[in-house]
Amino acid sequence: MEATVSKSLQLTTWNSSDYTVPTLNNSMRLYTRYEKNKSKRVNNMLNCNHLATIKPAIGHRTAGLKASCTSQNFPASLLKSETFIAEEDLLLKKKSEEIKPCLSGRCIYLVGMMGSGKTTIGQILSEVLDYSFFDSDKLIEQAAGGTAVADIFKLHGEGYFRDNETEVLHKLSLMHRLVISTGGGAVVRPINWKYMHKGISVFIDVPLDALAQRLTAIGTASRPLLHHGSGDAYTQTFMRLSKLWEERSEAYTNASVRVSLECIADKLGVGDVCSVNPTQIAIEALVKIEDYLKE
């Protein structure tokens, strides 16, 4: 089914504001309205429960399809065009092959606010670059005999956690061929930058409301700095993130490159940062790293 749809969506039309693809076995209609360059996507429910999103791959002019089907006829809750996945994966692979030799084994440090996707994207990057992946929080937990970050904060305080974070980053900075997901607050201590500047640092910039949505959905138990405040879970998380952002936004500008989800969404023409998937972010990170290496 997906192949049929992908094929039928050549990009001469992907920016048109209303799409109906009536050829899906006559059992499904595709109905996504795009307003180019507007952060507004309206999914109109017509006469069935299917919802589809059409989007171009970064740097490609071929439309892909991502469909979420709630009908009994479609077992998967999220279907994605095989063509589209293959194109994204190919692009990711191609970009990684291009920049591998230029990296000369330099480590990649991912920085960004809590929940920005450092771990998710870091794992993808490490795989395609044939690098090892480390999450600095996990290393701190290991060094503390398996004590969880939230408990380290509770038992010893944030200062102790930060000292351990610095120690971990120091050790990692002596190594090569690593992708490292750092904790959201690692950017605050200048000494950490001394270590991270041994490699290439990538700031994953995600709007706070999208972060608050993600973190509210997965819960904040493992992220102690989000535990204060009043109001509903989303508001509490959003307020805490806003406060931290005020304190840290400048520190993130120390990163070698910035990967903005808003910019990616713009390039894709989707408007909504929640539609940008980790592979697309990883591709953009590689593009930005490539540009940085050329400077």
Ligand X SMILES: Nc1ncnc2c1ncn2[C@@H]1O[C@H](COP(=O)(O)OP(=O)(O)O)[C@@H](O)[C@H]1O
Ligand Y SMILES: O=C(O)C1=C[C@@H](OP(=O)(O)O)[C@@H](O)[C@H](O)C1
Would you count residue 115 as binding ligand X (CB under 6 A)? yes
Angle between helices 136-143 and 158-173 (to 10 degrees): 110
Question: What is the rounded distance in angstroms from the CA atom of residue 9 to the CA atom of residue 65?
Answer: 8
Judge whether 44 and 25 are in contact, CB under 8 Å. Answer: no
Binding to ligand X by residue 120, rule CB under 6 A? yes
Cross-strand partners of 181:
110, 135
Asked whether the CA dihedral 294, 131, 252, 263 is positive or negative, the reply is positive
Of 92, 103, 114, 128, the residue at the interface with ligand Y (CB under 6 A) is 114
225 binds ligand X (CB under 6 A): no
Please give the helix or strand (H or E) that residue 28 lies within, else none: strand 28-30
Give the footprint of ligand X on residues 161-190 (CB under 6 A). 181
Binding mask 258-287 for ligand X (x = CB under 6 A): ------------------xxx--x------
CA triplet 87, 90, 93: central angle to 5 degrees?
150
x/- track of binding to ligand Y for residues 18-57 (CB under 6 A): ----------------------------------------
Give the pair of three-digit tokens for residue 117: 């996707």
**Beta-bridge partners for 226:** none
Residue 255 engages ligand X in binding (rule: CB under 6 A): no
Residue 185 lies near ligand Y (rule: CB under 6 A): yes
DSSP assigned state of 159: H
Interface residue with ligand X among 106, 171, 214, 258 (CB under 6 A) is 214
Which parts of 217-246 interact with ligand Y (CB under 6 A)?
A: 223-225
- Please, what is the angle between helix 261-268 and helix 278-294, to 10°? 110
Q: Going residue by residue from 59 to 98, which x/- string records binding to ligand X, judged by CB under 6 A?
A: ----------------------------------------
Residue 199 binding result from ligand Y, ligand X, none, given CB thresholds of 5 to 8 Å by partner type: none
State which residue, 80 or 118, has the beta carbon closest to ligand Y: 118
CA-wise closest residue to 41 among 265, 289, 217: 265
Residue 16, amino acid: S
Buried b / exposed e across 228-252, counting CB within 10 Å, b at 16+? Answer: eeeeeeeebbbbbbeebeeebeebb
Q: Which is nearer to ligand Y, 207 or 224 (CB)?
A: 224
- Could you say whether residue 111 binds ligand Y (CB under 6 A)? no
* Residue 137 contact partner, candidates ligand X, ligand Y, none, CB within 5 to 8 A by sort of partner: ligand Y
The nearest distance, CB 288 to ligand Y, in angstroms, is: 20
DSSP annotation of 227 reads -
Among 149, 241, 257, 261, binds ligand Y (CB under 6 A): 149
> Is residue 117 within the footprint of ligand Y (CB under 6 A)?
no
Give me the amino acid identity at 207. P
| Binding footprint of ligand X on the chain (CB under 6 A) | 112, 114-120, 181, 214, 218, 276-278, 281
| Binding footprint of ligand Y on the chain (CB under 6 A) | 114, 118, 137, 149, 183-185, 223-225
